[in-house]
Amino acid sequence: MTTTRWTGPHPEPNPTRPTPSTVARIVGWFAPVLPDRRLAYLRTACYLFVVLDIHTLVRDPIALSHDTTLYRPLLLAEMFRLPAPSAPLVWTLYVVLVVGSLIAAANRLPRAAGFVVAAAFTWWTAIGFSYGKVDHDHTAFVIALWTLPTAGVIAGRWRASTASAQSGWVLKCIQIAVIATYFLSATTKIRNGGGPGHQWEFATWANSFILVWAIVRRPHGLGQFLLPYPELLRGMQWFAFLAELTSVVVLWLRGRALLVAAVFWMGFHAFTVTILYIHFAPTLVCWLAFAPLERCSPWLRRVRGRRQQRVGGRASDPTSG
């Protein structure tokens, strides 16, 4: 097998480098060279979130496994002939998830622990979604778990000084999955339109009374104050719909423009929390794939250095104590 040095986009473009071909540009877009340290931090965040998730978000598989009368397996379970949930099965998945996530969060055994966690979490979540309710806040997160292990061992972990297309590909896949969550939400609204016989209608969802419907069903905080103003709520629907539809642009933003977009979407989610208590936390964690997490290391070093300086200063200060 030929080993070639990566010739795609580089963090600091070299003016003497020849212009890459279209194929190289496409490959370079899907697998940009990015710091491995960023991936090491993202792994830690994602795997720790798995532990949080199974205790706070998709926490019902253990409870649901006691009675399977309402269990309706997803296509995934049928394809892989997964057995119906039972107490021994979900408890095994639980232990595997906790142990595997802690190992993977430390960037240890990234491939073995990572793929085991990905499979176990997909199964666990599929069980939680096999009783009639499927949430779409986990799509990007599941894709993140399946791609994170592919970059393999990162030498130096959070202190790695290397960059690679392997890490860049993982980060790009997660970024695409995050944005797909928004964009495909908009296309689904167009697809569903006004229901059977009225599908593929562009404006029907935005002109509907979905937010009134949602607030009546989930009376929460600010939502209750907005309920008497259906026209204002429709305006908000248009705003959200257009934002989702144009979200694809985020994949090409850089620097300050990307920061503004990220802040906008964080604000969007904060707003849905205040009116409906819907948070999309798993997708929010995946937003970290856009963040320059590699800067955490110098920042942590500075904080640690300052603390040591203070401690050292106090110890050598004869007037202290």
Partner 1 sequence: MKQPSIGRITRWSLTWRLAVALAGIALLLTGSLRGSDQAWPFAPMSQYAFAPPPDDTIIITRVEGELADGQRIELALRTGVSGISRAEVEAHTDDIIADPALLQGVVAGWTARHPDHPQLRQVWLVQETTTLVGGRRDVTEFVPRASWVVPE
The interface with partner 1 within residues 147-166 (CB under 8 A) comprises: 150, 161-166
- Give Cβ neighbours of residue 220 (< 8 Å, ≥ 6 apart): 274, 275, 276, 277
DSSP state of 34: E
Q: Which of 103, 104, 123, 138 binds partner 1 (CB under 8 A)?
A: 138
**Which residues in 182-201 contact partner 1 (CB under 8 A)?**
184-185, 187-189, 191-195
Which H or E run contains 265?
helix 255-276
CA 271, CA 239: separation in Å to the nearest integer? 12
Does residue 133 belong to the site contacting partner 1 (CB under 8 A)?
A: yes
Helix, strand or coil, per DSSP, at residue 35: strand
- Of 101, 167, 178, the C-alpha closest to 139 is 178
d(CA 300, CA 321): 28
107: left (phi over 0), alpha (psi -120 to 50) or beta: left
Neighbours of 216 (CB within 10 A): 12
Nearer to partner 1, 134 or 300 (CB): 134
List the x/- string, 12-51, binding to partner 1 by CB under 8 A.
x-------------xx--xx-x-xx---------------
225 contacts partner 1 (rule: CB under 8 A): no
CB of 311 to partner 1, least distance (A): 28
Minimum CB separation of residue 195 from partner 1 in Å reads 7
Residue (301 or 314) nearer to partner 1, CB: 301
Q: Site residues for partner 1, window 54-83 (CB under 8 A)?
A: 59-60, 63-64, 66-67, 69-70, 74-76
Under the binding rule (CB under 8 A), the answer on residue 142 touching partner 1 is yes
204: contact with partner 1 by CB under 8 A? yes
Query: Which lies closer to partner 1 via its Cβ, residue 201 or residue 259?
Result: 201
> Which residues, numbered 98-127, are part of the site for partner 1 (CB under 8 A)?
122, 125-126
CB 280 within 8 Å of CB 215: no
